Amino acid sequence: MQCYAEMIKNSGLKATFQRMTILSVIDKFGHISIDEIYEEVKKTHPTLSLATVYKNILNMVSHNVLTEVPIAGKKSKYEIKKADHIHLVCTNCNSVTDIDVEIPVNSAFEKLAGEESFKISSTQVNIYGVCPNCSKA
Partner DNA sequence: ATCCTTGCAAATGATTTGCAAGAGT
Partner DNA sequence: ACTCTTGCAAATCATTTGCAAGGAT
Enumerate binding residues for its own copies (CB under 8 A). Answer: 61, 67-73, 76, 86, 88, 90-91, 97, 99, 101, 104-105, 108-109, 112-113, 116-132, 135
Q: Side chain identity at 39, as an amino acid letter?
A: E
Name every residue whose Cβ is closer than 8 Å to that of residue 72 and which is 6 or more positions away in sequence: 126, 128
Q: Which is nearer to DNA, 56 or 67 (CB)?
A: 56
Smallest separation, CB 134 to DNA (Å): 23
The answer to whether residues 80 and 1 touch, using CB atoms and an 8 Å cutoff, is: yes
Contacts of 50 (CB under 8 A, 6+ apart): 35, 38
Nearer to its own copies, 15 or 109 (CB): 109
For the CB of residue 2, give the shortest distance to DNA in the complex, in Å.
16
